[in-house]
Structures are given as C-alpha cells and as structure tokens.
Amino acid sequence: MVVLGTWKGRPVAISVRPNCLTVSVDHPAEASIFSYDLEGRLWAAFLDGISYRRGLNGRIIARWRSPDNRRERRWLPPDEALAVEERAHQTIVALYEAIRSGGAPLKTPLPPEGHTAFRRAIAFDTERSRADAKRYHEIYKPIGILPPDQYMAVVLQASEGCPFNTCTFCNFYRDRPFRIKRPDEFRAHAEAVREFLGAGLSLRRSIFLGDANALAIPMKRLRPLIEIVHEVYDVEGLGGIYAFLDGFSGEKKSQQDYAGLARRGLRRVYIGMEIGNEALLRFLKKPGTPDDVIRAVQAIKAGGVAVGVIILLGAGGRQYAGAHIRDTIRVLNAMDLGRSDIIYFSELVVSEGLEYARDAHRVGLEPLTHQERIAQGEAIERGLKFSRQPDAPRISRYDIREFIY
Ligand code: SF4
C-alpha cells in the first residue's frame, strides 16, 4: 500500500510492500527516494538526479545520464558509499520521528508492517552496515558476475571458481582454484546465506547456483546439492533455480539429466557462447566449439529448461567483425530459441592487464568503437530468423561493469 502525507511542506509517499519499504520525499521532479529490504538494508536510492544501488557487500554504484544522454556510472569508494547510506538514514530517522510526533501528517495511518519496516531501516545504521558487509565477506567468496536478470537472486556457491580459467577476456575467477563444495559444507553455506539475508530474503527473486560453472558439476554430486537447496529454501516460492554453464568439457549432461533438474526447479541455464566463429574462440582460448554450444542448448531445451545465451560484442576487433556476425547468426539460428529464452549482448570490456589486451596487441587487432559494437549486435539481431515472430526470445544488453549483487 502507498501512504501519502506531507513533511516540512513537501509531499511524502511511503510504499509498504511485502518485500520492501520505499520512501519518496518531495515533488516527483526533485524527489529523494530510498528503498530498503525488510531487514533494513538500503538497496536503492535516488538523490539529486543520481540513482544508487547498494550491493549486499556494501558497495554502491552511482548511475546517471550525461548531458548528451549517455549512461554513466561510478563505483563509490567506501567512505562515499557510507555517506550515501548515512544521508538516507538521517532522512528516514527524521521522517519517522515526525510521523510519530504528528509533524508529518499522513492521509491514512501507516500500517503495522510499515512501522516494522521503518524500525528495521532505522536500526540499520552505518555501524550495522559495516558489520553486515563484513559478514557478507565471511559467507561468500567474491561473486565474479551474474546475468543481469539475476542481480536480485539468492546466490549459493555450490562450487567456487571456474574449472577452465583460460579465456583471455575474463579474469573473474583467476584468484581461486575451482572446487565443488562437500554437501555438509554447502548446507552450512546455504544456511548462513539465509540467516544473513534475514527478512531481506523476501526481496530476492530466484536462486542462482554459483560460481562460473555450477552445472559442470557431475550429476552424482549435483543432485545432493540441489536437494540441500530445497531443504533450506522454498525453491518454488523464490522463482526456481538458475545457473551458468560455460566452457563445455568434462561430463556432458543429457536431455534426461536436464529434465530431472527441471523437475527439481532448474529454470534457466546461462551460456557464455561469446561468438559463433571457431577460429576466434580459439584465439580467445575459450574451451569448446560452437557446435558444442548448439548441442548443449538443444539438450537443455529438450529437457524443458530455458537458456540465456551471452554474446560478446567487439571480440576480435575489426579483423573478425564480419566473421563474428556471420557465424554468430548461424549458431543462434540453429538453437531454435523461443519466448522463455534470452539473448544477451555484452560488450567486450578490455581492462589493463587482461591477457586479451596483450594478444590483441601482438596480432594487431584493431578494436571496435562502442558504436561499432552496438552496430555489430544490431547486425546479428537482423540476421536472426525468429526476430519477427511473436514467440521470439528476449534480446537484452549486458554491461558487466554494472554487475551488482
Ligand atoms: S569459462 Fe567462463 S568463467 Fe571460465 S574463464 Fe572462460 S569466460 Fe571466464
């Protein structure tokens, strides 16, 4: 429900939902907006024309539009992040005091769950925020990346790291060896995550089985881990289980395996296909071939599970640009993707020290500009044979620099 009122001559809107509390102060054009999960964590804010998202690790990303309408972003240093939280906190402390003392008259009374949500957000001061972020780091190894539709998942690290770690454009998991958790260890982790999220669990929309390649875990070891997820969480209520499958080696799962996993809640598998050109895949040192990806997608979809296929725009620069478009179209068209599937276009981000940067320099690859990468995605999209059908998959952008959990 939404409760309207006034405070210091400005309009106030308080939205009390089963999963969050959102407070908006002032007229819409200049409103300050703060959203809290029901544990009291600030998770989103809008202040002075800048939107902020706070991750469970306490980090905050600021996003805004430049005067020429480009998307801009900046990760705040810890002090600045805490300052944003503190500003939000001072506002809701003062507002709640005013509500209770009659200084902020409301048109309808705040419901009891609204009072509870306010009290929790007020108890979550900067000291609690620091302690919460510390606890997060005790529970989780760094989470390298998630697909954008999974930023609000409950991440459970059934495995850690990536079994390949060879791809020259990826350094998400270079800091740790790949390992699969023992069932007792995974149960303790799943319980610790549930306890950590507390009432904030209600804001989470799915379960994401991490890390880079949880579905590479052999079925014999994966089944007990999935059963533990069911014992600790209401999988259906949370919207099912999602995971990455990447690299394509080791035990390959069959259609029957995926059908069994679908019965135990698996909803979508995200595949970092990157490109449909085999020579470029070799250059990127990505394990597997485009045909491996097609076969994996066919088995997954035949088992009743959706896929999210991630395409890396700009990989191979100008020299591979045409081959990338041609072969990626061929491979995507061979997948028979439908309404429940997603295609993500993710721009290559070349940071200093990345092996790709050295290799590209060595062979003289000429990078594509941002506009050329976007055009590459559009050219691929135009070649997709389902692109005009009503049950076509969703096609979306994926900016790894904005990943937040
Ligand atoms: S298989 Fe995926 S997670 Fe592993 S190194 Fe390659 S891109 Fe990164």
Task: Give the burial class of 195: count Cβ atoms within 10 A of its Cβ; 0-12 exposed, 13-18 middle, 19 or more buried.
Answer: exposed
Burial 88-103 (b: 16+ CB within 10 A, else e): bbebbeebbebbeeee
- Say yes or no to pLDDT of 387 above 70: no
- Say yes or no to pLDDT of 373 above 90: yes
Please check whether residue 277 is in contact with residue 328, taking contact to mean a CB–CB distance below 8 angstroms.
Answer: yes
pLDDT band at 253 (very low <50, low <70, confident <90, very high): very high
- Nearest alpha carbon, ligand 1 atom 2: 246
Q: Is residue 211 lining ligand 1, measured as CB closer than 6 Å?
A: no
Spacing, Cα 81 to ligand 1 middle (Å):
30
Spacing, Cα 161 to ligand 1 middle (Å):
9
For residues 113-124, average pLDDT: 98
Please check whether residue 159 is in contact with residue 211, taking contact to mean a CB–CB distance below 8 angstroms.
Answer: yes
For helices 290-302 and 255-263, give the axis angle rounded to 10 degrees: 50
For residues 365-371, average pLDDT: 95
Q: Which tokens is 217 given? A: 């875990």
Q: Is residue 165 lining ligand 1, measured as CB closer than 6 Å?
A: yes
Spacing, Cα 285 to ligand 1 middle (Å):
10
Say which residue, 29 or 233, is predicted with more confidence: 233
Q: Which CATH number fits domain 140-402: 3.40.640.10, 3.20.20.70, 3.40.50.300, 3.90.1150.10?
A: 3.20.20.70
- pLDDT of 198: 98
For residues 185-200, average pLDDT: 98
Spacing, Cα 243 to ligand 1 middle (Å):
14
Nearest to 210 by CA among 245, 260, 252: 245
Residue-wise pLDDT tens digits, 293-328: 999 999 999 999 999 999 999 999 999 999 999 999
For residues 106-128, average pLDDT: 97
Q: Which atom of ligand 1 is nearest to the CA of 169?
A: 7
Our mutation pick for probing the ligand 1 site, out of 160, 246, 346, counting the most ligand atoms within 8 A of Cβ, is 246
Spacing, Cα 247 to ligand 1 middle (Å):
7
pLDDT band at 249 (very low <50, low <70, confident <90, very high): low
Our mutation pick for probing the ligand 1 site, out of 160, 170, 312, counting the most ligand atoms within 8 A of Cβ, is 170
- pLDDT of 246: 83
Out of 224-238, 241-255, 389-403, the most confident range is 224-238
For helices 290-302 and 317-333, give the axis angle rounded to 10 degrees: 30
Q: Residue ranges of the domains in the chain?
A: 2-124, 140-402
Whole-model pTM: value is 0.95
Mean pLDDT of the chain: 95
How far is 374 from 372, CA to CA, in rounded Å?
5
Phi, psi at 235, each rounded to 5°: -60, -45
- pLDDT of 388: 64
- Nearest alpha carbon, ligand 1 atom 8: 170
Q: Is residue 377 lining ligand 1, measured as CB closer than 6 Å?
A: no
Q: Which distant-in-sequence residues (6+ apart) come within 8 Å of 13 by Cβ?
A: 2, 3, 4, 23, 24
Please check whether residue 376 is in contact with residue 314, taking contact to mean a CB–CB distance below 8 angstroms.
Answer: yes
Q: Is residue 173 lining ligand 1, measured as CB closer than 6 Å?
A: yes
- pLDDT of 74: 96
Residue-wise pLDDT tens digits, 201-244: 999 999 999 998 899 899 999 999 999 999 999 999 999 999 99
For residues 148-177, average pLDDT: 93
Please check whether residue 305 is in contact with residue 258, taking contact to mean a CB–CB distance below 8 angstroms.
Answer: yes
- Nearest alpha carbon, ligand 1 atom 3: 212
Please check whether residue 253 is in contact with residue 281, taking contact to mean a CB–CB distance below 8 angstroms.
Answer: no
Q: Is residue 312 lining ligand 1, measured as CB closer than 6 Å?
A: no
- Nearest alpha carbon, ligand 1 atom 5: 165
